[in-house]
C-alpha cells in the first residue's frame, strides 16, 4: 500500500484526512508544528514528526527516512481577518513554507501533491456558481497566499514534473461520525461551531454579521461541505495522480447555498431548541454569496458529496458536546 505524508495532520481537516487514509489502508506519516494543530487529534496509527515545513533539514530527514509516495498539504494559517493584519507572517508561513516543502519534495523525488486551496482565491465573483474558469481575484491576504502556492506548484510541475491537484474548498464543516475528532480553533471564527456554542451554554447568543446583503433574507450565503466528503475528494485526487493523470484544479462544494439565518434555523432543528440571535454590523471582507460549481470534480474525480446540512450540524454537535473545551477536555 502507498505511504502518504499528511502535512498539517494535527489540524481540523488534516486529522480527518489521516484517519480516513489509515481506515482505507494507506500508511500515514504526519508532519505538523502543532502551532494550531492538536496532539490529541493525531491518528495513533500514523507516524508523527513534530517540526516546521520552513525547516528544509527537518523535512529532508523525514523524506529520506519515510520514502513517501505522495504528500497531502494542509499546513497553513487560515484566518482571513488575521491575514489582513499580519500579511508578512501569512506569506512566510504559507508561501515560504510551501516553497521549502516543494524544495524538499524535489530533492527527494517525491512528485505528487494534493493541496488544500480555498474559495478565498476567487474573491467576489459576478458569475455564480463559481467555476474553475473564473479568474482568481483574492480580496484577502489569506486567499492571495493560497493563489501564490498554487502558482508555485504550476511552475514546479513544468520544471520538475511535480504533479499536483489543488482543491479549492468552500465552507468546510462537520466531524467524524463517532465524535472522536472535530473542529477546535482558538479563537473560533467559523459560523457552525459558534452557533453550537449557544445551546452548549458557552455564549448567550449568535451574532449575525449583517442582514442588509443583496440576498433573499439579507444574510450572507455560503456553500457548506462536510469534512468527510472533502477528504473523500482528497483520496480520489491521490488516486487520480497515482493513475498518472495531469495536474489540475478543482472546486469542492455542495452547489447549495445557505444563508446565515437558514444555518441558525437548521441548528435549532438539530439541537431541538431556540437559538437566540442578534444582528450586528457586517464583518469586513465578507462577500454576499459564495457557491461553488463542483461539476469538474464530479466528472473528472468521480466525486459526489453525500452529507446533508443537518448531518454537518449533527456531527459537529456530537464533537462539541463531548469536547466542551475542545481537545483540552480529554
Ligand atoms: N458569520 C456570522 N456570525 C458569526 C460567524 C460568521 O454571521 O459569528 C457569517 C459570516 O459573516 C459569513 C458566514 O457566517 O457570512 C460564514 O462565516 P465563516 O467564518 O464560518 O466562513 P467564511 O465564509 O468567512 O470563511 C470560509 C473559510 C475560510 C475561507 C473563506 C473563503 O472558513 O477559510 O471561506 O471566503 F477563506
126-146 confidence digits (pLDDT tens): 999 999 999 999 999 999 999
Atom of ligand 1 nearest to the CA of 260: 14
In ligand 1, which atom is closest to the CA atom of 120? 31
* Tens-place pLDDT, residues 256-271: 999 999 999 999 999 9
Kindly give the number of the ligand 1 atom that is closest to the alpha carbon of 220: 15
C-alpha of residue 261 to centroid of ligand 1, in Å:
13
The average pLDDT across 14-41 equals 97
Whether the predicted pLDDT of 207 surpasses 80: yes
Has residue 284 got a pLDDT over 90?
no
Task: Give, using CA atoms, the residue closest to atom 12 of ligand 1.
Answer: 220
Q: How many Å lie between the centroid of ligand 1 and the Cα of residue 285?
A: 10
Distance 153 CA to ligand 1 centre (A): 27
59-97 pLDDT, tens digit each:
999 999 999 999 999 999 999 989 999 999 999 999 999
Strands in the chain per DSSP E:
3-7, 27-32, 47-50, 70-73, 112-118, 163-169, 171-173, 206-209, 221-222, 224-226, 248-252, 258-259, 277-280
Give the pLDDT of residue 124.
Answer: 87
pLDDT at position 329, please?
A: 52
pLDDT value of residue 328: 83
DSSP string covering 175-217:
--TTSSS----SS---HHHHHHTTTTTSSS-EEEE-S-SSSTT
**Which pLDDT score is estimated for 87?**
97
For residue 330, what pLDDT band results from cuts at 50, 70 and 90?
very low
Query: Which of 13, 80, 265 maximizes ligand 1 atoms within 8 Å of its Cβ, making it the mutation to test the pocket?
Result: 80
Ligand 1: residue of 12, 120, 168, 171 to mutate (most ligand atoms within 8 A of CB) is 171
Q: End-to-end distance of the chain based on CA atoms, in angstroms?
A: 32
> Which ligand 1 atom minimizes the distance to the CA of 79?
33
- pLDDT at position 45 is 98
For residue 190, report the distance from its CA to the centre of ligand 1, in Å.
6
Ligand 1 atom with least separation from CA of 119: 31
* Residue with grid cell 462577500, as numbered in its chain: 287
Burial 192-219 (b: 16+ CB within 10 A, else e): bbebbbbbeeeeeebebbbbebebeebb
Catalytic residue among 90, 142, 169, 317: 142
* Cα 189 to Cα 193: distance, rounded to the nearest angstrom: 8
Active site (annotated) includes residue 142: yes
Look at residue 6 and tell me whether its pLDDT is greater than 80. Answer: yes
Q: Against a cut of 0.85, is the pTM above it?
A: yes
> Which segment of 104-108, 120-124, 235-239 scores lowest on mean pLDDT?
120-124
Going by alpha carbons, the residue nearest to atom 30 of ligand 1 is: 120
Query: What residue ranges line ligand 1, CB within 6 angstroms?
Result: 78, 80, 118-120, 142, 171, 189-191, 194, 206-209, 220, 222, 260, 283, 286, 290
Q: What is the pLDDT of residues 292-319, one digit of tens each?
A: 999 999 999 999 999 999 999 999 999 9
Q: Average pLDDT, stretch 176-203? A: 95
For residue 248, pLDDT over 90 is answered with yes
Asked whether residue 51 carries a pLDDT value surpassing 50, the answer given is yes
Average pLDDT rounded to a whole number, residues 200-216: 97
Amino acid at each position: 500500500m502507498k505511504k502518504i505524508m499528511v502535512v498539517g495532520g494535527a489540524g481540523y481537516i488534516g486529522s480527518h484526512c489521516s484517519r480516513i487514509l489509515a481506515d482505507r489502508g494507506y500508511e500515514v506519516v504526519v508532519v505538523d508544528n502543532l502551532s494550531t494543530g492538536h496532539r490529541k487529534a493525531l491518528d495513533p496509527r500514523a507516524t508523527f514528526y513534530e517540526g516546521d515545513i520552513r525547516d528544509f533539514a527537518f523535512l529532508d530527514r523525514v523524506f529520506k527516512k519515510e520514502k513517501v509516495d505522495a504528500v497531502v498539504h494542509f499546513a497553513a494559517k487560515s484566518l482571513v481577518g488575521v491575514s489582513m493584519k499580519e500579511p508578512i507572517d501569512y506569506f512566510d508561513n504559507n508561501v515560504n513554507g510551501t516553497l521549502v516543502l516543494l524544495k524538499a519534495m524535489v530533492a527527494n523525488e517525491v512528485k505528487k501533491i494534493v493541496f488544500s486551496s480555498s474559495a478565498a482565491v476567487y474573491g467576489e465573483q459576478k458569475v455564480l456558481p463559481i467555476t474553475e474558469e473564473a479568474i482568481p481575484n483574492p480580496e484577502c491576504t489569506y486567499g492571495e497566499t493560497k493563489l501564490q502556492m498554487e502558482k508555485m506548484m504550476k511552475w514546479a510541475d513544468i520544471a520538475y514534473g511535480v504533479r499536483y491537484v489543488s482543491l479549492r474548498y468552500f465552507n468546510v464543516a462537520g466531524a467524524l461520525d463517532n465524535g472522536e475528532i472535530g473542529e477546535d480553533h482558538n479563537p473560533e471564527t467559523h459560523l457552525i461551531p459558534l452557533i453550537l456554542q449557544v445551546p452548549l451554554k458557552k455564549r448567550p447568543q449568535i451574532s449575525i454579521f449583517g442582514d442588509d446583503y443583496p440576498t433573499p433574507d439579507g444574510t450572507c450565503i455560503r456553500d457548506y461541505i462536510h469534512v468527510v466528503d472533502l477528504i473523500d475528494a482528497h483520496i480520489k485526487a491521490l488516486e487520480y495522480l497515482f493513475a498518472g493523470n495531469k495536474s489540475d484544479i478543482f472546486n469542492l462544494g455542495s452547489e447549495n447555498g445557505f444563508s446565515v439565518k437558514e444555518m441558525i434555523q437548521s441548528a435549532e432543528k438539530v439541537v431541538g431548541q431556540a437559538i437566540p440571535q442578534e444582528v450586528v454590523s457586517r464583518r469586513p471582507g465578507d462577500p454576499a454569496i459564495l457557491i461553488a460549481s463542483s461539476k469538474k470534480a464530479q466528472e473528472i474525480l468521480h466525486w459526489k458529496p453525500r452529507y446533508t446540512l443537518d448531518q454537518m450540524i449533527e456531527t459537529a454537535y456530537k464533537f462539541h458536546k463531548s469536547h466542551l473545551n475542545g481537545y483540552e477536555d480529554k
